Amino acid sequence: MEDVTSSVSGLAFVDQDLDLGDLGGVVQWNAPSDTRRVEAYRVYLTDGASTRSLIGTEIPLGLNETFLPAETDNVWSLVEVYTRSKLVEQTTPIGLAISDTSASVSGIDFVDDDLDLTNLGGSLTWLKPTNAAQVESYVAYLAEACQDSVVAEVTGSLSLSVAATETQVLAAVQASLATMLGVSQSEIIIASITAVSARRLSTTWDVTYKISVPVAQASQLVALTAAINVDATSFVATLREELLHQGVDSAAVTSLQLLSFSTASVRIVVNDLANSTDDSDSGDSNTSDTRRLASSPTSVPLWICHAEVLGNATVNETSMDILVDTPLRNFTHILIYTSSTLAEQTTPEAHLILDAFASVSGVSFQDLDLDLGELGGTVLWLEPQTSQRLLAYDVYLAASETGQFWCPAKLGRFGSKPPMAGYGKTESPTVVLVTGGTGLVGKAINKVVNEDDAAKGETWVFLSSKDGDLVDRSATEAIFKKHQPTHVIHLAARVGGLFHNMAKKVEFFRENMLINDNIMECCRIYGVKKLVSCLSTCIFPDKTTYPIDETMLHNGPPHDSNLGYSIAKRLVDSMNHCYKEQYGCQFTSLIPTNVYGPHDNFNVQDGHVIPGLIHKCYLAKQKGEDMVLWGSGTPMRQFIFSEDLARLIVWVLRDYQEIEPIILSVGEEDEVSISDVAQMICEAMDFKGKLVKDTTKADGQFKKTASNKKLRSYKPDFKFTPIRQGIQTAVDWFVENYSAARK
């Protein structure tokens, strides 16, 4: 006789539901060594005695795991795996004690550094859970607590026998419950009262009642009813008094019997009002349903009607920036949920938001400068009532235009000890931020500024994409926070020649639009005095009259070849006007023609024509091959040497006061054909081979002749570098820096 034993081994379960009292995750085991008689496995949660609950369905032999869904109530002590044969299920399964993972962050801290009422900004920090082994990430939300619109419905019942009328019993029960439970009589609703049996001397009455109270009060009421259930003496005494009061005769009152008194139960009811706060955002994936939080700092259960994602962080991060000017709206709390690979917590940690608000009051100024049109004297103000978050005051002169609009000019910054007065003559040092500072134009500005005495007392910061991706709003904010620029020259852009533009229209639009929006909005928020952005003559209408001038920018669709780039750039001009009109910002733009020079992008595929041809010519010379010019060579262009452009950009920053753009270009008489340019490059490179044309390639716009009349009206004497000289400089630079050049 053979006694078959088939038990699983290596039973494993790691709880991945991060809430206390909830389980979830995968249960795994190894198959028995002898499986000849095993048909299937059954996996149970058990209390270690007779109660158990099957997880999912039976698992066929061959599969060695089952899944326990997140948020399974943990009222169990073991997970057990039984094997089953054709005849019977095992009676002695293999069991594993359940360990309930709970991982919540603690110590959430957020100090609002945005001093405007109803706006938030600053750093949100928290502490890692003590046991973070199952935590993958954190999700932070701004949340609206809806305490008032969520109520607890406490219901209970009792049964008594007394010789009294329904009205008398109802009133006496109502009054007695009110006294015993400490609520007002009007809050007690008698849901039903039924005479179940009527004898000569008494009637048995079944009564059910309902009380709606704030959630926080519910457990206390339940505890009081539980106490009456155990010892009803006082309740019966009160009931007798109330029956007498209702006119029931004393003999009947004496023979009163309380037959039963149940412990009340609680149901949480969310009023429609709570759900309706979800209004415009309903259906938004950022919006969470009403949830109960176990872990509010006050330990009063907290209910959330509406929440919106603030951001995510990986498990090892313990801070997150809340962007300046984040609207507070109706949000009351910050929530931080932990998340495992299985699920996000349902009961996160909550932190009450305190909105910092600090404005000075009593601003006064008496002009002691006796000239008309000039001011001088002391500006006075009173410090804000709450000044803990204050580092300094910025004092501006503002021109009121239509009352509501203003155009600020900063007078100065005054130190952390709030002074009672400050003189408006200390201009803060100028910090000029140059985005795209490592590109063709940025490098040229860097060179010009290094040679410019006027820039000696100023701080110039040249950014590259390594300092932060300007497509990303928070990275852009971090840059402004760090450098606190007073002036910005905005060059950073996704830039490329004709062929690159034709291939990537969507990227050219989206990246440039996002970069420009981030820069303009940060300039507004951080009080930048002047922003100069860079447009391009290739964004003008395709069908137009020549020469092009600044007034024609929006007069028709741009050339199809660079539609994405052009539209993104044109929006900068539109928004410069919007920012001026609404906020008084001094945002302007300049429009260079084709630029060339050292540090250009010499990539043959992606680069502009001059760097592209320089690179091709270099390779043709090296390899003894023909140099290939793309297209017919007949299109006409105006080229500006990068250092000339840099000098003009610095002039625009310091002296050009208009919001309207200004074309920065050589004269119309300096327009050259692509063939001529190619010829000049061959000469500068001393290339003796053949110059051939590949006419299968596109020509792009035939010409975009621009007028520099406006520039000449400001700078009649500006000397441009002759194109042959500029090309020679660019060629020499490329040859000398071949290995490091962008290509």
Active site residue: 82, 209, 526, 565, which one? 565
Task: Give me the sign of the Cα torsion angle 41, 45, 49, 50.
Answer: negative
Pairing of strands 265-270, 150-162: antiparallel
Give 347's DSSP letter: S
Does 629 bind ligand GDP (CB under 6 A)? Our answer is: yes
Nearest residue to the partner ligand NAP, using Cβ: 439
The number of C-alpha atoms within 13 Å of 447 and in the hemisphere containing its C-beta is: 16
Query: With respect to ligand GDP, which residue has the nearer C-beta, 120 or 666?
Result: 666
Contact partner at residue 324 from ligand GDP, ligand NAP, none, CB < 5 to 8 Å by partner kind: none
Work out which of 637, 647, 710, 743 binds ligand GDP, going by CB under 6 A: 637
Contact partner at residue 613 from ligand GDP, ligand NAP, none, CB < 5 to 8 Å by partner kind: ligand GDP
Long-range contacts for 511-515 (Cβ within 8 Å, ≥24 apart)?
511/471, 511/568, 512/564, 512/565, 512/568, 512/569, 513/567, 513/568, 513/571, 514/470, 514/471, 515/435, 515/470, 515/471
Distance CA 576, CA 559 (A): 23
430 in Cβ contact with 395 (< 8 Å): no
Contact partner at residue 228 from ligand NAP, ligand GDP, none, CB < 5 to 8 Å by partner kind: none
What's the min distance (Å) between Cβ of 588 and ligand NAP? Answer: 14
Contact partner at residue 631 from ligand GDP, ligand NAP, none, CB < 5 to 8 Å by partner kind: ligand GDP
> Among this protein's residues, is 565 annotated catalytic?
yes
Q: What size, in residues, is the chain? A: 743
What is the SS3 string spanning 701-740? CCCCCECCHHHHHHCCCCCCCCHHHHHHHHHHHHHHCCCC
Residues 479-508 touching ligand GDP, rule: CB under 6 A, are: 497-499
Give 344's DSSP letter: B
Contact partner at residue 76 from ligand NAP, ligand GDP, none, CB < 5 to 8 Å by partner kind: none
Region from 13-21, 32-40, 132-140, 610-618 binding ligand GDP, contact rule CB under 6 A: 610-618
Joined together, the tokens standing for residue 241 give 């008094």
Residues 29-88 touching ligand GDP, rule: CB under 6 A, are: none
Does 631 bind ligand GDP (CB under 6 A)? Our answer is: yes
Query: With respect to ligand NAP, which residue has the nearer C-beta, 149 or 601?
Result: 601
Contact partner at residue 449 from ligand GDP, ligand NAP, none, CB < 5 to 8 Å by partner kind: none
Distance CA 564, CA 569 (A): 9
Region from 99-107, 298-306, 514-522, 628-636 binding ligand GDP, contact rule CB under 6 A: 628-636
Query: With respect to ligand NAP, which residue has the nearer C-beta, 45 or 528?
Result: 528
Query: With respect to ligand NAP, which residue has the nearer C-beta, 345 or 536?
Result: 536
590 in Cβ contact with 657 (< 8 Å): no
What's the min distance (Å) between Cβ of 286 and ligand GDP? Answer: 41
Query: With respect to ligand GDP, which residue has the nearer C-beta, 530 or 616?
Result: 616
How far does CA 460 lie from the centroid of its chain? 30
Strands (E), 476-630: 487-490, 530-534, 587-592, 594-596, 627-630
Distance CA 609, CA 635 (A): 11
Work out which of 162, 243, 519, 613 binds ligand GDP, going by CB under 6 A: 613
Work out which of 547, 612, 661, 726 binds ligand GDP, going by CB under 6 A: 612
What's the min distance (Å) between Cβ of 590 and ligand NAP? Answer: 9
Distance CA 208, CA 256 (A): 18
What's the min distance (Å) between Cβ of 735 and ligand GDP? Answer: 18
Contact partner at residue 674 from ligand GDP, ligand NAP, none, CB < 5 to 8 Å by partner kind: ligand GDP
What's the min distance (Å) between Cβ of 628 and ligand GDP? Answer: 8
Query: With respect to ligand NAP, which residue has the nearer C-beta, 302 or 440?
Result: 440
Counting residues that bind ligand GDP (by CB under 6 A) gives 21
Query: With respect to ligand NAP, which residue has the nearer C-beta, 439 or 631?
Result: 439
Backbone angles phi, psi at 597, to 5 degrees: 155, -170
Does 641 bind ligand GDP (CB under 6 A)? Our answer is: no
Contact partner at residue 609 from ligand GDP, ligand NAP, none, CB < 5 to 8 Å by partner kind: ligand GDP
362 in Cβ contact with 382 (< 8 Å): yes
Does 25 bind ligand GDP (CB under 6 A)? Our answer is: no
Query: With respect to ligand NAP, which residue has the nearer C-beta, 187 or 521?
Result: 521
Write out the DSSP string of 166-223.
HHHHHHHHHHHHHHHHTS-GGGEEEEEEEEEEE-SS-EEEEEEEEEEEEHHHHHHHHH
192 in Cβ contact with 207 (< 8 Å): yes
Query: With respect to ligand GDP, which residue has the nearer C-beta, 443 or 608?
Result: 608
Contact partner at residue 534 from ligand NAP, ligand GDP, none, CB < 5 to 8 Å by partner kind: ligand NAP
* Buried-state track 529-539, b at ≥16 Cβ within 10 A, e below 16: bbbbbbbbbbb
Query: With respect to ligand GDP, which residue has the nearer C-beta, 355 or 542?
Result: 542
Residues 525-554 touching ligand GDP, rule: CB under 6 A, are: 538
Query: With respect to ligand NAP, which residue has the nearer C-beta, 125 or 465?
Result: 465
Contact partner at residue 72 from ligand NAP, ligand GDP, none, CB < 5 to 8 Å by partner kind: none
**Where do we find the tokens 């006064």?**
364
636 in Cβ contact with 672 (< 8 Å): yes
Distance CA 614, CA 601 (A): 11
Mark residues 688-707: x for contact with ligand GDP by CB under 6 A, - for none: ---------xxxxx------
Does 661 bind ligand GDP (CB under 6 A)? Our answer is: no
Which residues does 640 contact at the CB level (< 8 Å), separation at least 6?
Answer: 592, 593, 594, 595, 596, 664, 665, 666, 720
Task: Give me the sign of the Cα torsion angle 341, 344, 346, 351.
Answer: positive
* Buried-state track 27-38, b at ≥16 Cβ within 10 A, e below 16: bebebbeeeeeb
Binding site for ligand NAP (CB under 6 A): 436-442, 464-466, 469-471, 491-495, 515, 534, 536, 592, 594-595, 601, 608
Pairing of strands 431-435, 459-462: parallel
Does 674 bind ligand GDP (CB under 6 A)? Our answer is: yes
What's the min distance (Å) between Cβ of 609 and ligand GDP? Answer: 4
How many helices (H) and strands (E) would you count in the chain? 15, 38
Q: Closest Cα partner for 182 from 136, 133, 228?
A: 228
Nearest residue to the partner ligand GDP, using Cβ: 631
Does 594 bind ligand GDP (CB under 6 A)? Our answer is: yes
| Residue 696 CB coordination number (10 Å) | 7
Give 332's DSSP letter: -
Region from 89-97, 131-139, 516-524, 612-620 binding ligand GDP, contact rule CB under 6 A: 612-620
What's the min distance (Å) between Cβ of 686 and ligand GDP? Answer: 19
Query: With respect to ligand GDP, which residue has the nearer C-beta, 34 or 694?
Result: 694
- The residues that are catalytic are 565
The footprint of ligand GDP (CB under 6 A) covers: 497-499, 538, 594, 608-609, 612-613, 616, 629-631, 635, 637, 674, 697-701
